[in-house]
Amino acid sequence: MKKGEKVVIVGGGFAGLNFAKQMAKKEVEVILVDKQNHHQFQPLFYQVARAGLEPSSISFPFRKIFQKVPNVEFRMADVESVVPAENILKTSSGDISFDHLVIATGCSTNFFGNKSLEEHALPMKTTQEAIAIRNQLLLSFEKIVTASEDEKEALFNLVIVGGGPTGVELAGSFAEMRATILPKDYPKVDFSKMRIIIVEGSGHTLNSMSDNAKTKSEFYLKQMKVEIIKGAHVTSYDGTIVSLDNGETLKAANVIWSAGVKGNTLPGLETATLVRNRYTTDRFNRIQGFENIYAIGDISYMETPVYPHGHPQLANVAIHQGKNLAKNLLGSTENKDWNEYEYKDLGSMATIGKHKAVVDLPKYKFSGYFAWLIWMFLHLMLILSTRNKLVIFFNWAWSYITNDSSLRLILDNKGKK
């Protein structure tokens, strides 16, 4: 990489943002392209969905982030295609030439080709989708007040498909809401009839974590009266009836889908090799078959001695791949050797509710109150701005003391003319 060259980044998630921050104020031109105008802190989407945090608390406008960084430019646009032979990225706001292209497009919801689920289930991969879940759930609670007995059953049932960290955290947060908030908001409604059901295809919740995390997460969920259906898959959902492959059916007005993701690939790179819809890269995140096009984060599939089947799609992997690629590119201006990427597992964690969390560290596995404190502290530290850290801390502290919040606003565009 030479001084003055142009680097274009597609996607401002954890990978793209951290790559761009490493390139800040260097002697290169950087253009960040994203269809959103802000970075989204996905680990806390579930708290937006359950009306525990406002979207602005976990969203960070790119123009604000790079306000004082003259060599980083932001373009809000949809990517239409890549033309590798001409080093051009075609977007909805015009063509952008590049010397190096970094693809950090992340993942979107994978419904595995099931059209009924795609049409009726609620995904949660963007800020807008988290808000849509909040709106629909709160509208359902309003409908319960005047609904007939036949209508109430579906409105009372919330089905969450997928028992990974997102599914478990959603279920736990809505169970807390059912126990402490909804009875106060709707004193004439019997919320003991509300069922929160996780449908998990494997034999355990948090199946990718330790045995301790699996066992404890199920214990906490059952303690919070969350139902768990294991070893079953959803085959269809028509907006009212959820059908499972074990022959069981569930009546539900709300189904949240957290059971799978797929990489957001770009038109024009069809010659690239894909593994599970992720671009195959070398140890430097360079897409195989291309000299100046790279993939980082969830969209990258890199086989290493430690991870022969690719790295897990985690925020830490994305952050470190972004930083490593930036250091390699910048180092090449001084003829420094490139460093191969390898992920050092720092552990994983999930929170189920107040004083209920599980943490897997490389040498220690634990759960309960201490795990819950660690989860809160680490997530708070990952928030970008001091202001947002304080806002989130205040909301969490207020919710801890009162078992309540004042953020249950239904915001949609039905009244728009």
Q: pLDDT digit string (tens) for 233-260?
A: 999 999 999 999 999 999 999 999 999 8
Q: pTM, whole model, 2 decimals?
A: 0.92
Query: Mean pLDDT score of the chain, rounded to an integer?
Result: 94
User: pLDDT (tens digit, 9 = 90+) per residue, 87-97?
Assistant: 999 999 999 99
Which CATH fold topology does 6-109+261-332 show?
FAD/NAD(P)-binding domain (3.50.50)
Four-CA torsion 304, 308, 309, 310, nearest 10 degrees: -10
Do 233 and 138 contact (CB within 8 A), yes or no? no
Tokens of 178: 């059912």
Residue 337, pLDDT score: 87
Work out the angle between the directed axes of helices 14-23 and 315-332 (0-180°, nearest 10).
Answer: 30
Q: How far apart are CA 297 and CA 15, in angstroms?
A: 5
182-194 average pLDDT score: 95
Q: How far apart are CA 39 and CA 384, in angstroms?
A: 10
Residue 147 pLDDT > 80, yes or no? yes
Q: Give 90's strand partners.
A: 81, 95
Q: How far apart are CA 102 and CA 403, in angstroms?
A: 44
Do 345 and 315 contact (CB within 8 A), yes or no? no
Confidence of residue 407 (pLDDT cuts 50, 70, 90): confident
State whether residue 82 is helix, strand or coil. strand
Residue 402, pLDDT score: 87
Residue 405, pLDDT score: 80
Do 163 and 204 contact (CB within 8 A), yes or no? yes
Residue 331, pLDDT score: 86
**Which amino acid does the sequence have at 19?**
F
95-105 average pLDDT score: 97
Residue 415, pLDDT score: 42
Among residues of the chain, what percentage have pLDDT more than 90?
Answer: 88
115-259 belongs to CATH 3.90.1300.10: no
**Which amino acid does the sequence have at 373?**
L
Q: How many CB atoms lie within 10 A of CB 305?
A: 7
393 Cβ contact partners less than 8 Å away, ≥ 6 residues apart: 380
Residue 62 pLDDT > 90, yes or no? yes
Query: Given this chain, do its domains 6-109+261-332 and 115-259 carry the same CATH topology?
Result: yes
DSSP per-residue string spanning 364-408: -EEESHHHHHHHHHHHHHHSS-HHHHHHHHHHHHHHHHHS--S--
**Which amino acid does the sequence have at 233?**
H
Residue 135 pLDDT > 50, yes or no? yes
CA dihedral sign, ordered 291, 297, 299, 304? positive
366-392 average pLDDT score: 93
**Which amino acid does the sequence have at 46?**
Y
In this structure, of 58-72, 201-215, 346-360, 397-411, the range with the lowest mean pLDDT score is 397-411
Q: Where are the domains of the chain?
A: 6-109+261-332, 115-259
Among residues of the chain, what percentage have pLDDT more than 70?
Answer: 98
Work out the angle between the directed axes of helices 211-223 and 165-180 (0-180°, nearest 10).
Answer: 20
33-51 average pLDDT score: 95
Q: How far apart are CA 278 and CA 89, in angstroms?
A: 19
Judge residue 333's burial from the number of C-beta atoms within 10 Å of its C-beta, 0-12 exposed, 13-18 middle, 19 or more buried: middle
Reported in sequence order, the residue ranges of 2-113 that DSSP labels E, i.e. its strands, are 6-10, 29-34, 38-40, 59-61, 72-76, 79-83, 88-91, 94-97, 100-103, 107-109
Residue 133 pLDDT > 80, yes or no? yes
Confidence of residue 416 (pLDDT cuts 50, 70, 90): very low
Higher pLDDT pick, 285 / 409: 285
Q: How far apart are CA 172 and CA 165, in angstroms?
A: 11
